[in-house]
C-alpha cells in the first residue's frame, strides 16, 4: 500500500478578501478611544484556536498602556494542542487566561481577578472594565457568564450573542457583574462594557482570512464553504488523517472527501447525488463543535511568533496604501516595457 503524503502547502485562491473592516468596526474603534480614560482594565478576547490570527494590531495600539487581561475563549476546542497554553503563558504570564463557558470554574477565576483589581482601585463608583476583540471571539458570551456568576439569579442575557460576526454593533451600556461588597472591600462593585468585534483594516495573508472565516469571524459566504473545507482537510492531513477516518481513507482530494461526507451523513440531492455545498457545511459544523479534532490552527513555533510580533509592531499596509503600491508597480512595469 502506497504511503499517504499530505500536501506540504495550501494554495490560497485569489478570491480571498483582504479585509472585513466595516463601518461599525471603524465607529466602534473610535468610540473605544473616547471611553478608555474611564476604563481601569481591558479584557481582550482571542479565540484559543487562533491565538495569533485573532490578535488585532489596531486594538493593540488603542489599548496600549492599559491594564489588560488576554482572555483566550473557547479553550475547550484546542485541548489536543498540548503545548499551546504553555507557549502563550510564556508570552503574557499571568495576564493570559484560558476561558471555557462550559467550565464555571474558569469564569469564577476570572471574576476573582476583577474583584482583586476593584479592591486595588478602591473607587466609590466601582471598577469599570471593557471587553474588546475581533468579531465573534466570544466577548458577549463572556460578559453574560461573568454577570450570571457574579450576580446570582441574573439569568437573562445582558448582551446579545450569536454564531455569526457582527451581532454586537456598538458599545454597550455598563453592566454590573459584581455588587458592592462592604465586607469584601469592593466599593461600588464592578461594571463591564461590551464592544463590537473590530476587524483589522487590512490582512495581507489570505491564510489568516481563511482561518478567521472558519471560526465565523467574517460574514458567511465571503469565502466559499468548499474552500474552508479544503483548508480543514489540509490541516487535518498534516495533523492526523485519522481525524476523519469515519468518512474515508486519507486523501488530498477535496471532492473525494466531501463526496464521502455526503454519502455517510446523508447530504444527498435527488437521485442520491452528493450535495457538495451541504457536505461542506457539515464539515465546518463538525469542526466548530470539536468533532474533527480540538487543536490550535495557528503555528506557535518561536519563528512564527516572532514574525507575528514584527507584523504587530509594523502592521500591514492599509487598503489605500495597497492600491497605491499596485498602481505604482503597474506604472513601473509599463515604463520598463
Distance of alpha carbon 142 from alpha carbon 171, whole angstroms: 15
- Is residue 139 marked as binding? yes
Closest listed residue to residue 63, CA positions, set 143, 120, 132:
132
Give the whole-angstrom CA distance, residue 30 versus residue 195.
Answer: 11
| Lookup result for grid cell 468596526 | 25
Q: Is 137 annotated as a binding residue?
A: yes
pTM above 0.85, yes or no: yes
What integer pLDDT is reported at residue 166 of this predicted model?
47
Higher-pLDDT residue of 275 and 202 is: 275
Is 235 annotated as contributing to ligand binding? no
User: Quick check: 153 and 147 in contact, CB under 8 A?
Assistant: no
In the chain, where the domains are located: 23-194
What is the average pLDDT across 79-92? 95
Residue 127 parent element (H or E) = strand 127-133
206 is in an annotated binding site: no
From 37, 46, 67, 9, select the one nearest 237 (Cα to Cα): 9
- pLDDT tens digits, one per residue of 283-328: 999 999 999 999 999 999 999 999 888 877 776 555 455 455 545 5
Q: Is 136 marked as binding a ligand?
A: yes
Q: Does domain 23-194 have CATH number 3.40.1580.10?
A: no
Residue with cell 481525524: 243
Is 138 one of the annotated binding-site residues?
A: yes
Using one digit for the tens of pLDDT, what is the confidence trace for 179-221? 988 777 888 899 999 999 999 888 888 999 999 999 999 999 9
161 is annotated as contributing to ligand binding: no
Element (H, E) at 143: helix 139-150
Question: Of 149, 228, 199, 220, nearest to 141 (Cα)?
Answer: 149
Amino acid at each position: 500500500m502506497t504511503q499517504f503524503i499530505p500536501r506540504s502547502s495550501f494554495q490560497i485562491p485569489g478570491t480571498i478578501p483582504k479585509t472585513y473592516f466595516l463601518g461599525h468596526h471603524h465607529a466602534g474603534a473610535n468610540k473605544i478611544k473616547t471611553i478608555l480614560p474611564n476604563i481601569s482594565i481591558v479584557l481582550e478576547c482571542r479565540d484559543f484556536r487562533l491565538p495569533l490570527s485573532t490578535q488585532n494590531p489596531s486594538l493593540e495600539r488603542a489599548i496600549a498602556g492599559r491594564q489588560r487581561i488576554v482572555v483566550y475563549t473557547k479553550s475547550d476546542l484546542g485541548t489536543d494542542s498540548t503545548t499551546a497554553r504553555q507557549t502563550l503563558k510564556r508570552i503574557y504570564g499571568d495576564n493570559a487566561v484560558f476561558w471555557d463557558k462550559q467550565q464555571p470554574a474558569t469564569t469564577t477565576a476570572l471574576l476573582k481577578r476583577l474583584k482583586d483589581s476593584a479592591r486595588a482601585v478602591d473607587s466609590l463608583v466601582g471598577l469599570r472594565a471593557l471587553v474588546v476583540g475581533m468579531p465573534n471571539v466570544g466577548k458577549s458570551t463572556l460578559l453574560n457568564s461573568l454577570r450570571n456568576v457574579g450576580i446570582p439569579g441574573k439569568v437573562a442575557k445582558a448582551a446579545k450573542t450569536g454564531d455569526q460576526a457582527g451581532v454586537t454593533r456598538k458599545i454597550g451600556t455598563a453592566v454590573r457583574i459584581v455588587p458592592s461588597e462592604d465586607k469584601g472591600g469592593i466599593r461600588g462593585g464592578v461594571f463591564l462594557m461590551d464592544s463590537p468585534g473590530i476587524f483589522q483594516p487590512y490582512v495581507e495573508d489570505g491564510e489568516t482570512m481563511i482561518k478567521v472565516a472558519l471560526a465565523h469571524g467574517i460574514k458567511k459566504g465571503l469565502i466559499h464553504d468548499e474552500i474552508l473545507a479544503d483548508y480543514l482537510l489540509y490541516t487535518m492531513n498534516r495533523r492526523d488523517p485519522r481525524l476523519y477516518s469515519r468518512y474515508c481513507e486519507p486523501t488530498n482530494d477535496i471532492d473525494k472527501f466531501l463526496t464521502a461526507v455526503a454519502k455517510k451523513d446523508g447530504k444527498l440531492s435527488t437521485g442520491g447525488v452528493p450535495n457538495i455545498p451541504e457536505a461542506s457545511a457539515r464539515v465546518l459544523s463538525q469542526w466548530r463543535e470539536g468533532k474533527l479534532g480540538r487543536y490550535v490552527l495557528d503555528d506557535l513555533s518561536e519563528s512564527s511568533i516572532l514574525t507575528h510580533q514584527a507584523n504587530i509592531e509594523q502592521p500591514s499596509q492599509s487598503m489605500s496604501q495597497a492600491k497605491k503600491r499596485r498602481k505604482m508597480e503597474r506604472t513601473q512595469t509599463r515604463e520598463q516595457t
